[in-house]
């Protein structure tokens, strides 16, 4: 039995189908790293494909937002969560039976047989994921070794996977922030999504590895998976650019 961990899908059902065709066999364990919803063409079929392989889901910031909004629809108070056109399109494709599945998404999954933690965005330096809020685990990018996280999430990487020295990223780097993997000491390896790279980004320090596998499927690049026990990344190209990248969205 293999374990197949899949990066941010964002409604890219054709790419998910192609990726599963290349990686999945009956009995394999499939884990989505979250951000299945929003931006892309077919959220409905993406969820159905995941259900067919009995996938487990890790909470992404997009699911977190929808769940937060949904909670307020049951309350008399005004809903404090703002939805844009992408969010509304997603809501129109969701069925009542999706909500329990989304609500059961875990904020991280430990895979002890591979000494691996799977998470949507990242883990703060020196902190166990058990001691972090779900809302942080699905949003962390730049951090400091004192475990503070940058409030900014709209900075970018260059083609080599290094933070661009400009804008908020430049200011944050000057203030001592680094991408969270720079501080990660293990002892577990970590696989994560959320931050878009041109190709899977692997780091290794003292035998501890991190794998960034959000390769921007919805932005026209590719959808990627990490396959265990081979520790092999597999990427399928996107059919097209479904969504223009807008920093901060
Ligand atoms: Mn995300």
pLDDT digit string, tens, across residues 200-224: 999 999 999 999 999 999 999 999 9
**Does the pLDDT value for residue 238 go beyond 90?**
yes
Ligand 1: centre distance to CA 121 (Å): 7
Judging by beta carbons within 10 Å of its beta carbon (0-12, 13-18, 19+), is residue 183 exposed, middle or buried? middle
- For the chain, state the CA radius of gyration: 17
**Does the pLDDT value for residue 103 go beyond 60?**
yes
Ligand 1: centre distance to CA 61 (Å): 5
**CATH number, residue 26:** 3.60.21.10
Ligand 1: centre distance to CA 8 (Å): 7
**Residue 149 maps to a domain:** no
**Does the pLDDT value for residue 160 go beyond 60?**
no
- Residue count (the chain): 249
Domain extent, residue 13, equals 3-120+187-237
Confidence of residue 165 (pLDDT cuts 50, 70, 90): very low
**Residue 204 maps to a domain:** yes
How far, in Å, are 3, 6, 50, 199, 226 from residue 231 at the CA level?
10, 13, 21, 15, 6
**Does the pLDDT value for residue 105 go beyond 50?**
yes
Ligand 1: centre distance to CA 59 (Å): 9
Ligand 1: centre distance to CA 12 (Å): 14
Q: Tokens for 172?
A: 């944050």
Contact predicate 13/42, CB 8 Å: yes
Share of the chain above pLDDT 90, in %: 74
**Could you read off the pLDDT of 76-92 as tens digits, one per residue?**
888 899 899 999 999 99
**Residue 98 maps to a domain:** yes
**Residue 137 maps to a domain:** no
- Region 19-33: mean pLDDT is 98
**Residue 135 maps to a domain:** no
Q: pTM higher than 0.75, yes or no?
A: yes
Ligand 1: centre distance to CA 246 (Å): 13
Ligand 1: centre distance to CA 220 (Å): 16
Q: How many CB atoms lie within 10 A of CB 100?
A: 8
Of 248 and 35, more confident: 35
pLDDT at 170: 63
pLDDT at 245: 79
Ligand 1: centre distance to CA 194 (Å): 4
**Residue 34 maps to a domain:** yes
CA dihedral 243, 244, 248, 249 (to 10 degrees): -30
Q: How many domains does the chain have?
A: 1
Confidence of residue 100 (pLDDT cuts 50, 70, 90): very high
Ligand 1: centre distance to CA 7 (Å): 10
Ligand 1: centre distance to CA 109 (Å): 16
How far, in Å, are 68, 85, 87 from residue 71 at the CA level?
5, 19, 15
Ligand 1: centre distance to CA 249 (Å): 10
Ligand 1: centre distance to CA 139 (Å): 7
Ligand 1: centre distance to CA 37 (Å): 10
């Amino acid at each position: 039995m293999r374990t197949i961990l899949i990066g941010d899908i964002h409604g890219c059902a054709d790419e998910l189908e192609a990726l599963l065709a290349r990686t999945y066999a009956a009995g394999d364990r499939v884990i989505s790293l979250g951000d299945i919803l929003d931006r892309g063409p077919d959220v409905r079929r993406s969820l159905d494909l995941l259900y067919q392989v009995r996938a487990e889901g890790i909470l992404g910031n997009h699911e977190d937002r929808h769940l937060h909004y949904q909670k307020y629809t049951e309350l008399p108070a005004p809903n404090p969560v703002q939805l844009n056109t992408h969010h509304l399109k997603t809501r129109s494709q969701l069925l009542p039976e999706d909500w329990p599945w989304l609500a059961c998404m875990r904020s991280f999954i430990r895979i002890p047989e591979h000494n691996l933690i799977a998470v949507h965005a990242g883990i703060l330096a020196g902190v166990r994921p058990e001691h972090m809020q779900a809302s942080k685990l699905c949003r962390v990018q730049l951090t400091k070794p004192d475990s503070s996280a940058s409030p900014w999430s709209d900075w970018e990487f260059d083609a080599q996977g290094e933070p661009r020295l400009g804008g908020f990223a430049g200011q944050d780097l000057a203030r001592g922030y680094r991408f969270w993997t720079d501080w990660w000491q293990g002892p577990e390896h970590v696989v994560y999504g959320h931050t878009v790279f041109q190709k899977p980004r692997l780091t290794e320090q003292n035998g501890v590895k991190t794998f960034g596998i959000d390769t921007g499927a919805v932005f026209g690049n590719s959808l990627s998976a990490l396959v265990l026990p081979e520790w092999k990344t597999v990427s399928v190209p996107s059919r097209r650019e479904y969504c223009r990248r807008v920093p901060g969205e």
